[in-house]
Structure 1
Amino acid sequence: MSMCHVGGFFKLALGVLSLLVAGCASSLTTIDTWDGDLPAATERAVLKAPGTIQVTEVNGKAMTNFLMDDLALDYGLLPGGNEVVFTYKTIWAKSGVVDNGESKVHVVETDPQVVRFDAEPGVTYQFAFDKPSTRREAEAFSEDFSATIVNAAGEAVAEAKIWQGPTKNRTPVSGGASNYAAGSGDTLEALKQLWAEATDEEKKTFLRWAFE
């Protein structure tokens, strides 16, 4: 095979690959985080995650790992309480000569983090955090990671915390926390559920309030 034929084949393969990648990117930019169809008369919320945020699970459901770690994705959320587990990951090129077999990059990654918040129908949320400009800044940031979830108005709705492991799977319900209100027929069970889902700090704050 001549070099012209090789070059032509390479260009053709590259063109096909580009079309496939573009097609995959367009179809994967929004990932629904529930099984089955969207409930009738329900409008999903959206959580936008940049390439440095790797979402691993939502409400106990594992999210697919894609070949491109730095792919920015949107996650469709059912209205109501949502639990999102993620890591923050950045990649930095190594300077100088790299030995054979040695990675050519430094990977800086946080421990798993979690955010919990009530998503409202039709609202778009996103991660807000500092963006280090050097590897040293990234390493320091990963040791003391801080991020918030903000709505379209820039208002913070949740703070990231270190993930302590699996909790009881949550089923988002349209209307968010208002569904826990009295009148559902079993206020005690609703309170038990809220208590089970509360963090240690939230439980301490509640007990201080209850016994004042």
Structure 2
Amino acid sequence: MNISHVIRVFQSTRQGCWSGVARVRAGLIAVVVMAMAGCASSVSVVETWDGNPEAASNAATLEAPGEIRVTRVNGRVMTNFLMDDLALDYALLPGDNEVVFVYKTIWAKSGVVRNGESKVHVIESEPQVVRFDAEAGETYRFDFDQPESRQEAERELPEFSAAIVSSAGASVASSTVWDPKEQMTASRTPIPESASGSAPVSGTTALDQLKAVWETASDDEKKAFLRWAFE
């Protein structure tokens, strides 16, 4: 056996290892993509109540763009989806509603980015709350100033406020900084606090466990995973 033969064997083995890693990574990416596709198709309208209240048959709709992440509706914690910037519609029971949300924008960094350093600037508001009387069957949307640069977004952040606008274009409410002590206590359909951080139970699928782990990850860990998965 000569040295050239050893080199060929080593190269073949290394290529096989990299091929195996590539297949594993491709498989993981496929799972993530299918999960996101499934989420997008199954949660196009997110119900904000528990059970089957009669008023749900003529619920109102609140359209939230990617910059708005709704965290609570009438005290109920909303699901944290795989991607923070999903545009979602929320079905609201007619009557008084309290919506807690966070405004968040992401801006690419210019210049050289060091290893391990985030490639983006994240501009995120304190939790905001908006309370309004939703009419049956009506569609509402968030309305707020759209900054054209990171610097503009940073300047506007301390005074950020979003309006809730009806389908006719009328502003029905404006948001303020959320104070948990002032949470709405009006009687609504009983909504239990969703359990967070609970460990996966036996019988759950790998996708369920992945979602559970994802919900406990920090923003930086989520970004690092997505950069790895889609590189």
Shorter-chain TM-score range: 0.7 to 0.9
Summarize the alignment of residues 145-160 of structure 1 with structure 2, pairs less than 5 Å apart.
145-160=160-175
Q: Alignment partner for residue 51 of structure 2, among 15, 26, 36? A: 36
With structure 1 as the length reference, what TM-score do the two structures score?
A: 0.72
Unaligned runs of 5+ in 2: 1-15, 190-231
Map Cα deviations across residues 143-201 of structure 1 (whole Å, 9 max, x no partner): 1112210011111100111112242433348xxxxxxxxxxxxxxxxxxxxxxxxxxxx
Call closer, same or farther: CA 1:16–1:79 in 2, change over 3 Å: same
User: 1:178 is matched with which residue?
Assistant: none
Q: Distance in 1 between matches of 2:31 and 2:77?
A: 30
User: 1:169 is matched with which residue?
Assistant: 185
Deviation of residue 13 (structure 1)? 6.2
Which residue identity lines up with residue 147 of structure 1 in the other structure? Answer: A
Looking at secondary structure, tell me which structure has more helix per residue.
2
Instruction: Work out the percentage of aligned pairs sharing the same amino acid.
Output: 56
Q: Alignment partner for residue 102 of structure 1, among 105, 117, 121? A: 117
Residues 1:75 and 2:90 aligned together: yes
Which residue identity lines up with residue 130 of structure 2 in the other structure? Answer: V
Per mean C-alpha deviation after superposition, the further-off stretch among 5-14 and 53-62 is: 5-14
Partner SS, residue 102 of structure 1 = coil
Deviation of residue 29 (structure 1)? 1.7
Q: Is 1:123–1:151's contact at 8 Å kept on the other side of the alignment?
A: yes
Residues 1:18 and 2:39 aligned together: no
With structure 2 as the length reference, what TM-score do the two structures score?
A: 0.67
Q: CA RMSD in A?
A: 2.4
Q: Is 1:83–1:170's contact at 8 Å kept on the other side of the alignment?
A: no
Q: Distance in 1 between matches of 2:125 and 2:55?
A: 38
User: 2:143 is matched with which residue?
Assistant: 128
Which residue identity lines up with residue 127 of structure 2 in the other structure? Answer: P
Which residue identity lines up with residue 138 of structure 1 in the other structure? Answer: A
Which residue identity lines up with residue 142 of structure 1 in the other structure? Answer: L
Partner SS, residue 46 of structure 1 = strand
Deviation of residue 107 (structure 1)? 0.7
Which residue identity lines up with residue 74 of structure 1 in the other structure? Answer: D
Q: Distance in 1 between matches of 2:89 and 2:176?
A: 21
